[in-house]
Amino acid sequence: MNTAPATLLRSAAELEALGRAAGARRAVVMTMGALHDGHATLIRAARAAAGPEGQVVVTVFVNPLQFGEAADLDRYPRTLDADLAVATGAGADAVFAPSADEVYPGGDPQVRITAGPMGERLEGAARPGHFDGMLTVVAKLLHLTRPDAAFFGQKDAQQLALVRRMVGDLNFGIDIVAVPTVRDPDGLALSSRNRFLSAEERGTALALPRALFAARDRLAAQQTLHARARTVPDREGRADALTRLGEARAAADTQAVALARPTVAPSAVLAAARAVLEEAAEADPPLALDYVALVDPADFTEVTDDRAGGEAVLAVAARVGATRLIDNIPLTLGALA
């Protein structure tokens, strides 16, 4: 592994001249800068995957196509010197930080990638056109960097799902690797936007991870409860068995579905998250919820109570003051037959 400072590249020609050893793997980590330990975790994962003879390229580009308002684009932090230090410390070989004119030499591109129906849900509904802009620049950067693998954070779960779909649907031939969300000790997911939160706003924002963890714990409790209920004699009804085990509240929540089918109800998982978020809406400063949803990670359609288990993502977005935050956790809604 190269221990020298990461090479700063400003143009496509410089990136092309970077080259790499024959047979060496190249891994890329795409960012908009303002790097923090979440990005460093991605870079370290890319470094490990590329191996000592491979190459890790970090892109730093604040993509104007992803911003609906010029004010949001202007407000986005730009910290290139600090980004170079973070990238170097995490094991990057090069940082590609082009200007907007370098990426879009003719101005806004006339031909773009369209995210399709998945790009119109959740974040897409809240930020129209955002995912079209994101996929367009990701496609361009993948062509420019020509990696064997690209690393993305699970925190941006819908972005990750769309990039995977684009790479698969359009035969890019690149591995898309997901890296788990990195959190501060208080549970808040790392984000460049966290710097805009006051101490009081951060306290309110902690409702996002608390809501996700409450839902995860509720799911685990329901699954344990169903498993215990299955150990009682068959002659006893499922709801009666749950009550007999001393779990009256959970029995009430699950009675209808427990008698009909042996799965954990997604609506109960969502209810646990909503309870935390509704309390935060009354805080000072308050949390303004955009959405909380339990979705299929393949296409971000809603998971409803008639689904018989499987992988899911519980996603949430909210504003605290002027700062909009997103978070999510993966869940497994296991069938309990």
- Could you list the active site residues? 39
Question: Exposure pattern of 256-287 as b/e (b: 16+ CB <10 Å)?
Answer: ebbeeebbbbbebbbebbbebbeebeebebbb
139 vs 67: CA distance, rounded Å: 17
241 token code pair: 């068995």
Q: What is the DSSP code string of 97-142?
A: ---HHHHSTTSS-SS-----GGGGSTHHHHSTTHHHHHHHHHHHHH
* DSSP H helices in 195-334: 199-205, 207-229, 238-244, 248-260, 266-280
Question: Exposure pattern of 74-109 as b/e (b: 16+ CB <10 Å)?
Answer: eebeebeeebbebbbebbbbbbbbbeeebbbeeeee
Q: Closest Cα partner for 316 from 212, 213, 166?
A: 212
Q: What is the DSSP code string of 134-172?
A: HHHHHHHHHHHH--SEEEEETTSHHHHHHHHHHHHHTT-
Counting Cα atoms < 13 Å in the Cβ hemisphere of 57 gives: 28
Q: For residues 299 and 161, is the Cβ–Cβ distance under 8 A?
A: yes
